[in-house]
C-alpha cells in the first residue's frame, strides 16, 4: 500500500459527481473512497486500514483479491475474454459442474449477470413450467431490483416499482418480532405456515407458479427460520403443484457454514438462485440451478429468455477457481467454526454487557445485532443511533454493514479468529462509548 495517493482519493471523490448511486439521492454524501483490498482488509487512498465486516454487500465470501481467483480471471482474459452465449465453452461447463457438485439432485444451470436477474429468470422458468402467474414471497425479504424481483421483494424498496402483476406477499417467521403472538419457535413455524396456507387458499392455489423464499432472509435482518418452516413450504408447494424457488443469492456459498443455507433444513428446492458468494463478486454473475423435472419442460420448448453475457468466460473462470479454493482451503468449514466458536459466543457476550442489543441471531458468518431503545418493548433504535455507531466503527477501522436498526456482522468467511476477535473488541468499545454518551 506504499504507493497509495491521497490526491487520487481527492480526485475519486470529485469525479463521483458523475455517478448516480444505487438507491440514493444525487450526489451521494461522502462515500468512502477505497483504493485497495486484500483478504479481509481494505485501504483508502490515505492508507487508512479497515477490517471488512460487511463483505461489501455480503458478497466477498472468499475475501478480497484471493490469488487463485485473480489468476484464473487474468488467465481467462488473455485466452478468451468473451464469447457468445450460444457457443459452447469449456470453462462455462466446468463452472456449472462445480456448482452442481455442491447441491443434491439438481440438473442444470442458467447463468445470469447477478442476483436480480437470477430471481427474474427463476420466476420466468416457474411460470413457463406451470403455466401459472402468481408468486408468493415474503414481507421482510429482498430479491433484487428488476421487474418481477423487485415486485417479489417484501421491503419498502418495492414501493414505487410495482409495475409487474401476480405478486402476493405473506409474513414469514421472525420470533423476536412475531406477527403471530408466538412464544416458541415451534409455534412461530406452525402459525407462519398456517398464514401462508391461508393466503394461498384465499388467492386460489391453482393460480400460483412459485413460492419464493430466502432460506435465511438476509437484508431483512438475518432471520434464521425456525425448524420446519422451509419443509412446510415444500409440502405446501407439493400439495398444489407449485414450484419452490429458494433464493440463495446472499445466504449461499458458505455464508451460513454450509454450501447452501437450505441444506441446514434438509429441504429439496425445485429452483435455486445464486450470485454473490459464487465468485465473491470479482466479476458480476448469478444464475438459476434447475431440478431435472423442471428442466424437462425445456426439453420440449425453448426458455423464452437469454442474456448476452450468460455464462461469461471471466465469470465462469472465477466461479471454478473460487469453488476449488473454498473446497481445498476448507473455507466453508471455517465459516461454521467462526460462527459456532468465535462470532456467535462473542456477540452473545456483547449482548450480556450492552442492553442496546435486543437480540443476536445468525449462524456461520451471517449475524445480526438487533438494536433496541429498550429491551422490554423491543422498540428499534432510531436511524440516527445506527448512523452514529457506523461512524464510530469506521473511525476505529471496522467497516460495518448496517440496515434499519441493525448491525449485520458479515465478514468474509476467510477471516482469522484473531481478526474476528479484534472486530468484536471494536464493537464492544463503540457500544460502551455510545452507552456512556447517552443522556
Applying CB under 6 A, the residues found at the interface with ligand PLP are: 57, 114-116, 119, 142-144, 214, 218-219, 247, 249-250, 275, 286
Per-residue three-class SS string for 97-128: HHHHCCCCCCCEEEEECCHHHHHHHHHHHHHH
> What minimum distance in Å lies between the beta carbon of 54 and ligand PLP?
12
Pick 164 or 250: Cβ nearer ligand PLP: 250
| DSSP-derived 3-state class of residue 413 | coil
CB 57 to ligand PLP: min, Å: 6
Cβ nearer to ligand PLP, comparing 58 with 317: 58
C-beta closer to ligand PLP: residue 285 or 356: 285
Q: Are strands 167-171 and 134-139 parallel, antiparallel or unpaired?
A: parallel
How many Å apart are CA 278 and CA 270, to the nearest integer? Answer: 19
Helix (H) or strand (E) holding 282: none
Say which residue the cell 418493548 belongs to.
Answer: 377
- Which conformational region is residue 20 in: left (phi greater than 0), alpha (psi within -120 to 50 degrees), or beta? beta
Q: Which is nearer to ligand PLP, 45 or 143 (CB)?
A: 143
Give the residue at shortest CB distance from ligand PLP: 115
Instruction: Render the burial of 244-268: b for 16+ CB within 10 Å, e for the rest.
Output: bbbbbbbbbbbbbbbbbbbbbbebb
Q: Which is nearer to ligand PLP, 275 or 342 (CB)?
A: 275
Give the shortest CB-79-to-ligand PLP separation in angstroms: 26
Min dist. Cβ of residue 21 to ligand PLP (A): 14
Shortest CB 409 distance to ligand PLP, Å: 16
Q: How far is the CB of 210 from ligand PLP (least distance, A)?
A: 14
Nearer to ligand PLP, 286 or 358 (CB): 286
| Cβ closest to ligand PLP, residue 188 vs residue 247 | 247
Nearest to 141 by CA among 123, 151, 153, 149: 153
Contact 243, 288 (CB under 8 A): no
Q: Minimum distance between the CB of residue 328 and ligand PLP, rounded to whole angstroms? A: 26
- Shortest Cβ 304–ligand PLP spacing (Å): 21
Nearer to ligand PLP, 173 or 218 (CB): 218
DSSP assignment of 14-37 = HHGGG---TT-PSSPSS---EEEE
- Catalogue the E-assigned strands of 141-181: 167-171
How far is it, in rounded angstroms, from Cα 76 to Cα 415? 28
Residue 149 near residue 141, CB atoms below 8 Å: no
Calpha distance 268→243 (Å, rounded)? 11
Closer residue to ligand PLP, CB minimum distance, 9 or 142 = 142
- Where helices occur in 131-272 by DSSP H, the ranges are 147-152, 185-203, 229-240
Per the DSSP assignment, residues forming a β-bridge with 271 are 245, 290
β-strand partners of 380: 372
Q: Smallest gap, in angstroms, from Cβ of residue 279 to ligand PLP?
A: 12
For ligand PLP, give the closer residue by CB, 9 or 400.
400
Smallest gap from residue 101 Cβ to ligand PLP (A): 23
Give the residue with the Cβ less far from ligand PLP, 130 or 137.
137
- Residue 56: which of 22, 98, 27, 28 has the closest Cα? 22
CB 316 within 8 Å of CB 241: no
Min CB(370)–ligand PLP separation in Å: 18
3-state secondary structure (DSSP) of residue 287:
strand
- Of 169, 129, 114, 82, the residue nearest 270 (C-alpha): 129
Amino acid at each position: 500500500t506504499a504507493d497509495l495517493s491521497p490526491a487520487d482519493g481527492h480526485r475519486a471523490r470529485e469525479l463521483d459527481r458523475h455517478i448516480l448511486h444505487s438507491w440514493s439521492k444525487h450526489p451521494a454524501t461522502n462515500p468512502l473512497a477505497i483504493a485497495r483490498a486484500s483478504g479481509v482488509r481494505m485501504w483508502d487512498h490515505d492508507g487508512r486500514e479497515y477490517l471488512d465486516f460487511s463483505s461489501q454487500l455480503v458478497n466477498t465470501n472468499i475475501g478480497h483479491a484471493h490469488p487463485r481467483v485473480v489468476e484464473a480471471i487474468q488467465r481467462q482474459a488473455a485466452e478468451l475474454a468473451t464469447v457468445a452465449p450460444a457457443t459452447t465453452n469449456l470453462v462455462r461447463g466446468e463452472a456449472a459442474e462445480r456448482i452442481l457438485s455442491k447441491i443434491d439432485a439438481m440438473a442444470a444451470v442458467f447463468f445470469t449477470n447477478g442476483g436480480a436477474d437470477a430471481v427474474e429468470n427463476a420466476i420466468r422458468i416457474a411460470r413457463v413450467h406451470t403455466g401459472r402467474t402468481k408468486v408468493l414471497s415474503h414481507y421482510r425479504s429482498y430479491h433484487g431490483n428488476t421487474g418481477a424481483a423487485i415486485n417479489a421483494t417484501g421491503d419498502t424498496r418495492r414501493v414505487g416499482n410495482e409495475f409487474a402483476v401476480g405478486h402476493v406477499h405473506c409474513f414469514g417467521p421472525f420470533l423476536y418480532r412475531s406477527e403471530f403472538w408466538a412464544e416458541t419457535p415451534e409455534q412461530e413455524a406452525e402459525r407462519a405456515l398456517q398464514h401462508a396456507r391461508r393466503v394461498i387458499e384465499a388467492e386460489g392455489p391453482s393460480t400460483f407458479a412459485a413460492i419464493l423464499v430466502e432460506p435465511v432472509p438476509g437484508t431483512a435482518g438475518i432471520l434464521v427460520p425456525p425448524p420446519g418452516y422451509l419443509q412446510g413450504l415444500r409440502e405446501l408447494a407439493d400439495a398444489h403443484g407449485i414450484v419452490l424457488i429458494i433464493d440463495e443469492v446472499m445466504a449461499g456459498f458458505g455464508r451460513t457454514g454450509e454450501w447452501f443455507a437450505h441444506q441446514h433444513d434438509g429441504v429439496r428446492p425445485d429452483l435455486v438462485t445464486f450470485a454473490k458468494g459464487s465468485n465473491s463478486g470479482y466479476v458480476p454473475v448469478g444464475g438459476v440451478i434447475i431440478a431435472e423435472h423442471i428442466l424437462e419442460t425445456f426439453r420440449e420448448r425453448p426458455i423464452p429468455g437469454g442474456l448476452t453475457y450468460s455464462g461469461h468466460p471471466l465469470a465462469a473462470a472465477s466461479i471454478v477457481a473460487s469453488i476449488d479454493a473454498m473446497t481445498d482451503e476448507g473455507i466453508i468449514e471455517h465459516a461454521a467454526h467462526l460462527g459456532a466458536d468465535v462470532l456467535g459466543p462473542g456477540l452473545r457476550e456483547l449482548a450480556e454487557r450492552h442492553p442496546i442489543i435486543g437480540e443476536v441471531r445468525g449462524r456461520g458468518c451471517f449475524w445480526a445485532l438487533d438494536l433496541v431503545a429498550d429491551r422490554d418493548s423491543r422498540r428499534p433504535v432510531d436511524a440516527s443511533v445506527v448512523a452514529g455507531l457506523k461512524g464510530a466503527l469506521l473511525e476505529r477501522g471496522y467497516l460495518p454493514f448496517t440496515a434499519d436498526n441493525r448491525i449485520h456482522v458479515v465478514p468474509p468467511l476467510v477471516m482469522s479468529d484473531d481478526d474476528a476477535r479484534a472486530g468484536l473488541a471494536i464493537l464492544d468499545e463503540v457500544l460502551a462509548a455510545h452507552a456512556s454518551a447517552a443522556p
